[in-house]
Amino acid sequence: MSDAASNHAAKLQPRSRGRGRKTLKAIWSCRYLYLLMAPALAWYIVYRYVPMLGTQIAFKNYSFSKGILGSPWAGLKHFAFLFSFPDFYNIVRNTILINIYNLLFEFPIPIILALMLNELRSLKFKKTIQTVVYFPHFLSWVIFGGLMIQFLSPNEGFVNKIIEFFGGDAIFFLSRTEYFRGIVVITNIIKETGWGAIIYLAALSGIDPALYEAAIIDGASRTQKLLYVTLPGIMNTIIIMLILRVGYLLDVGFEQIYVLYNAAVYEVGDVLSTFIYRIGIQDMQFSLTTAIGLFQSVIGFLLIWGTNRLARRYSDVSMW
């Protein structure tokens, strides 16, 4: 090593040591905050990152007796089979369509509900409405779905009783392909709208009251305050929630579909989560279902990345 190189290395060592000491000092000064973070970090490591080791099953012919490490490698065999499976593209199509319908019709409703609740002046009435709309979220899909099945029953269902009262014939809603996706979206709206509104109510509470006072002084109407103060005040939250929601475009809740669907509506109701259940749990094809899960994760990441780039390009908000 030349003398110049030796001198340069000698100069860098004190700097690197100084930066290391500063970093350790900063960590020590915030040690209690890091201690508070430790349980959450441990949870993510144990339940999110360690299970990623199991994704190698997608590239192996997994066997219970041989375990993950002992199972032979299969390369891209399971992905090739997946993309050549006759029903796979219809299942993906069903999953995407149901999520697009949810995005178009369900996503705006918690925002609208939060805005309406924010305009209520009676605190007692506001809390009553909040309790009513929050309650369905705490019911499992087994209970809530069972209620919806009874509600739509062709024999004793309330909806069909109304139809028959006006002279119509009873409709087997859950056995008709043209109604099933709409039922999935509507039941999801009823169950989750109240819970989803909580985030936007929290964002509304963070808007500076001085902005409303200034708008009143300027003679703004209630509609103008909504358009020029309230909505811009929660727009960052709306964009972040939209980015996260787009990432779940290939993920439909298993419990809801499994409770509501039946063989008559497989054509429009079978989604990736129910397909994984049938293939993975019932048929025990774990390598194939892991390949499906990895496919979902990769597409979800690309969707979040792309949506985040668009949000960053056309607004001041992004996730990173």
User: CB–CB of 243/293 below 8 Å?
Assistant: no
pLDDT of residue 248: 87
Angle at 48 between CA 107 and CA 194, to 5 degrees: 25
Bridge partners (DSSP) of residue 73 are: 60
Residue 314: Cβ within 10 Å count: 9
What is the pLDDT at residue 52? 86
What is the pLDDT, as a whole number, of residue 155?
A: 84
Distance CA 263, CA 177 (A): 11
Task: Pull the structure tokens for residue 150.
Answer: 């009874």
For the chain, the structural domain boundaries read 3-59, 67-314
Residue-by-residue pLDDT tens, the chain, 320 positions: 455 545 544 454 555 566 778 888 888 888 888 899 999 999 999 998 898 888 899 999 988 888 888 899 998 999 998 888 888 999 999 999 999 999 999 999 999 999 999 888 888 898 999 999 999 999 999 999 999 999 999 888 899 999 998 888 889 999 999 999 999 999 999 999 999 999 999 999 999 999 999 999 989 888 899 999 999 999 999 999 999 899 888 888 889 999 998 889 989 999 999 998 888 877 888 898 899 989 998 998 999 999 888 888 877 777 77
Which residues have a Cβ under 8 Å from the Cβ of 82 and sit 6 or more positions away?
88, 288, 291, 292, 295
Q: Which two tokens stand for residue 56?
A: 């190698």
257 by Cβ neighbours in 10 Å (0-12 / 13-18 / 19+) ranks as buried
pTM, to two decimals: 0.83
Which CATH number, 3.90.700.10, 3.40.50.2300, 2.40.10.10, 1.10.3720.10, labels domain 67-314? 1.10.3720.10
| Residue type (1 letter), 314 | Y
